[in-house]
Amino acid sequence: MKVLSILPRRLLAAATAALYMLGFSTAGADAPCPPDGDFGECKVLIEINASDGDIGFHFLMDGDNLMRAAIYDPGHRKIFYDAAKGPLRRQFLTETFAESAEPLCWPDPDADEDDLENIVTLEEFVDRWRTGTYHFIGISPGWELSYGRTDLSFALPAAPDDIEFDVSTGVLSWAAGDDLGNCAERVDEDADVPNLADVINLLDMDPADVPIAKFEAVFEPDVEDDDPRKGLKYTVRVPPTQTEVTIPADYIASLGDDTPVKVEVGAIGMDDNATFTEEDGICVNENLGCE
């Protein structure tokens, strides 16, 4: 039983080795996953919440009838492995999305002690991850191999700024920002101000200069998990030239009286890296007032 339990991993390793020997010469190996790879979609990206001050690594793969899948970083180190088992092995995998934990990137004075003990500064995050090409490998029935690749960069777009919501018109507006919010706050022991220049020098380019591909706006009730309004989000993506959206009146009305809401506006760069800014304390359909 022990041999059988480790055999799939050995076969995966052998298949992976074969791909490396062939220079990843499977179909679509000369192009990223979208649009010409064996995977329908694959991506790796960095996401920052500039308001909370946290940072994480996200990835997505979308393939056909996968039994196993793995991701390798530019140094050919395996960073993710997944296998379908039991009934899922007969049903197969297709889309897999996951994200790392998102530890604080700065010493938030309001954070719990446990969170403060696990801070990952921007410097530490950049040192932990490698930029360059990430390789996606999948195995389907008959040991058919799928391959795709996509790149990770440290081109992190600046966080949106000046977020406002007009409850009378339903218009949500914002402005392009020029930094990474709390994740840019690196304070030297002997300095009274954040050493922002040192942080910027770690990245591929100044966040203020990173081209924005699109903005994403998320409008959602800021309620407890057991509240039936939880998760009733309105999400929209707009071109980088557009810095306001109108939240549909019928959606807002459906939330009921005295609903506290929060909004997130994210700047999404050309490499899919994203930086979000949050704004809360908004009350819609106000009657008695939000708690």
DSSP state for residue 258 in the 8-state scheme:
S
208 pLDDT tier (thresholds 50, 70, 90): very high
Position 201 in a domain: yes
**Chain-centre distance of CA 65, in angstroms?**
25
If we measure between CA atoms, which residue out of 53, 14, 32 comes closest to residue 276?
53
What pLDDT, in 10s, does the model give residues 139-179? 988 888 888 889 999 999 999 999 999 999 999 999 999 99
Residues 132, 86 within the same domain: yes
**Chain-centre distance of CA 207, in angstroms?**
17
Joined together, the tokens standing for residue 114 give 């446990």
Position 236 in a domain: yes
What pLDDT, in 10s, does the model give residues 121-148? 888 898 899 999 999 999 988 888 888 8
- Number of domain units in the chain: 2
Residues 35, 92 within the same domain: yes
Residues 183, 138 within the same domain: no
Sheet containing 144-152, strands listed edge to edge, beginning at the edge strand earlier in sequence? 78-83, 68-72, 132-140, 144-152
Give the sign of the dihedral formed by CA 219, CA 225, CA 231, CA 237: positive
pTM to 2 decimals? 0.84
Residues 182, 240 within the same domain: yes
Position 290 in a domain: no
Residues β-bridged to residue 283: 260
Residues 145, 178 within the same domain: no
What does the alpha-carbon distance between residue 115 and residue 199 come to, in Å, rounded to a whole number? 22
Give the sign of the dihedral formed by CA 173, CA 176, CA 178, CA 181: positive
Residues 55, 16 within the same domain: yes
How confident is the model at residue 262, as a pLDDT? 96
Residues 6 or more apart whose CB falls under 8 angstroms from that of 19 comprise 25, 26, 137, 145, 147
Last residue of a domain, one of 152, 177, 203: 152
Residues 113, 206 within the same domain: no
Last residue of a domain, one of 135, 152, 169: 152
CATH of the domain at 213: 2.60.40.10
Burial 157-168 (b: 16+ CB within 10 A, else e): bbbbbebebeee
Range of the domain at 269: 161-284
Burial label, 102 (beta-carbon count in 10 A; 0-12, 13-18, 19+)? middle
Residues 78, 135 within the same domain: yes
Last residue of a domain, one of 128, 152, 176: 152
Is pLDDT above 80 for 29?
no
Residues 56, 93 within the same domain: yes
